[in-house]
Amino acid sequence: ALSSFIDFKKDRFDYVIFDEASQIFLEKAIPYISIADKVIVAGDDQQMQPSNWFGNRMDVDEEDKEEENIDSLLTYAIEQGIKKEMLELNYRSASAILTTFSSKEFYESNLKTLDSNDGITRNPIEIINVNGKWENNKNEVEAKKAIEILKNNINKYSKIILLTLNKQQMDLINLILSLEEPSIYNKIMNGEIVLKNLENIQDRKSVV
C-alpha cells in the first residue's frame, strides 16, 4: 500500500505514529518504521492481541495455525524496553462501575474512573444464566435469550450493540432474526442496531 505513493529510497518522515498498536501485526508495521526518524507507539497491552481469530496473516494449513507465532507491534515495543506512559483517565464509559473492575484487575488500580454528569443512578451490569448448551461453537438458548432482551430494550435506547462470542453465534442470531423477527433484522441491516462478535468488534469505533 505504501509503495504506491512513497519512495522508500528518498522519502523520510520525522514521526510515524501507530495507534491501537496492540492490534497491529509487527510485520505490517515494519515498512512504516523504515521511513521514520522517530516512532510513537500507542496502545493497550490489556486489549486482545491480534490472533488467528481475526484471520491468518497468510494462508497456512490447519495443523500449522496453532504454531504460527503472532506478535503485535505493542508487544514488541514493550519487549524492547521502550518507556511507557499511561493515560490514567478513562473518559469513554458513562458509569464508573464498568471501569472500576478493569482498573483493579488489569491496571493495578491506576485507571481513574468517572461517572457521567447526568446524575442518573445506574446498575450497568446484569448477569443472566440461561442454562444453554454450547454445541458446534453456538448456543441456541443463549441466542434466543439475547434476542428476547434485544426486543425488550429496542425502544428504550438510541444505540444498541449486540455482542457475541464468535462469528458462528452471530450468524445464528442473524438467521433467527431473519426468520422470526424481520423488523429487527432490517434494523441490523440498516445499521440502526449493531450486531458484532469478539472477532471484529474492535474494528468498529461504536459507542453505546
**Tens-level pLDDT at each residue, the chain (208 residues):** 777 888 878 888 999 999 989 888 888 899 899 999 999 999 988 877 665 444 444 444 444 444 445 578 998 998 888 888 888 877 667 677 777 878 888 888 888 877 666 655 567 778 899 999 999 999 999 999 999 999 999 999 888 999 998 999 999 999 999 999 999 999 999 989 999 998 777 554 433 3
Look at residue 182 in the predicted model and tell me its pLDDT: 94
Look at residue 117 in the predicted model and tell me its pLDDT: 62
Q: How many residues would you count in the chain?
A: 208
Look at residue 51 in the predicted model and tell me its pLDDT: 56
Question: What pTM was estimated for this model as a whole?
Answer: 0.58
Cβ-based neighbour number of residue 149 at 10 Å: 14
Look at residue 179 in the predicted model and tell me its pLDDT: 96
Look at residue 109 in the predicted model and tell me its pLDDT: 84
Look at residue 125 in the predicted model and tell me its pLDDT: 79
Give the C-alpha separation, 99 to 16, whole Å. 30
In degrees, rounded to 5, the angle at the alpha carbon of residue 98 between the alpha carbons of residues 96 and 102 is: 100
